[in-house]
Amino acid sequence: MASEFSFDIVSQVDFQEVDNALNQALKEIKTRFDFKGSKSDLQFNRLDKKIIILADDDLKLKNVTEILEGKFAKRSISIKALKYNSPEKALDGLIRQTAEIVNGIPQEKAKEIVKRIKDLKIRIQPSIQGEQIRVSGKSKDDLQFVVQSLKNANLDLPLQFINYR
C-alpha cells in the first residue's frame, strides 16, 4: 500500500471541443431569423487562444455571446474558461469583442489556491509545478476534502482534478 497519495489540480480546455462549439454557434447564427442580413461572426485563433466576436450592435453581441456560451455548456466546456475583454468599435459600424481562453493556472491564481489549501489546516502538502498544482498527503480522505472545498470555492477559472495516485 502506498504511504503517500497525490493528485494534480489543472485548468485545461480541449481545443477540439472549443472548435466544435464555435462551429455549432456559427451554424445557429447563420440560420436564426433575428440574424438574417446581419454581419455577425465568430473567429477562432488557436495560436493566440482567442475568440473574436463580431456583431452589428450591442443586442446582437449579447445574443452571439449567449449562443456561444450555450454551445460551450452543451459540449461540457466551462464558461469560466472564457475571459471577455471590453467591446470596441470595428470597421463598417460593427462591434468587436475578444474572448481569451484560459488554459493553465496562472502563477498568481496558483498561489491563491495553495493559500486556500493551507488555510484548511489539514496535513497535506500543495506544491506549484508550472501551470498545475500537485497536492499530496497520507490520507485519501484529506485529499478528497481538498477537492470538495476547492469545488465549493467560487474560483473564476475551471479546475480539473487528475492523476489520483
Contacts of residue 1, defined as CB under 8 A and 6 or more positions apart, other chains included, come to none
pLDDT of residue 1: 46
23 and 50 co-located in one domain: yes
Name the strands in the sheet holding 160-162, side by side, starting at the edge strand that comes first in the sequence: 124-129, 132-137, 5-10, 160-162
pLDDT of residue 120: 85
Residue 2 has pLDDT above 60, yes or no: no
Q: What is the mean pLDDT of residues 25-38?
A: 88
Q: What is the mean pLDDT of residues 71-91?
A: 89
76 and 111 co-located in one domain: no
Asked which of 48, 77, 101 is the last residue of a domain, the reply is: 101
40 and 97 co-located in one domain: yes
**C-alpha span between 57 and 63 (Å, rounded):** 10
Closest CA to 122 of 95, 150, 98: 150
Which residues, listed in sequence order, are joined to residue 9 by a DSSP beta bridge? 133, 161
Cell reading at 82: 472564457
Q: What is the mean pLDDT of residues 5-9?
A: 88
**Binning pLDDT at 50, 70 and 90, where does residue 52 land?**
very high
Domain of 75, CATH number, reads: 3.30.70.990
78 and 141 co-located in one domain: no
Diameter over CA atoms, the chain: 67
Identify which has the larger pLDDT, 162 or 66.
66
34 and 80 co-located in one domain: yes
Q: What is the mean pLDDT of residues 99-108?
A: 88
**Binning pLDDT at 50, 70 and 90, where does residue 94 land?**
confident
62 and 82 co-located in one domain: yes
Which residue range forms the structural domain that includes residue 77?
15-101
89 and 136 co-located in one domain: no
Is residue 106 within 8 Å of residue 128, measured between CB atoms?
Answer: no
117 and 141 co-located in one domain: yes
77 and 139 co-located in one domain: no
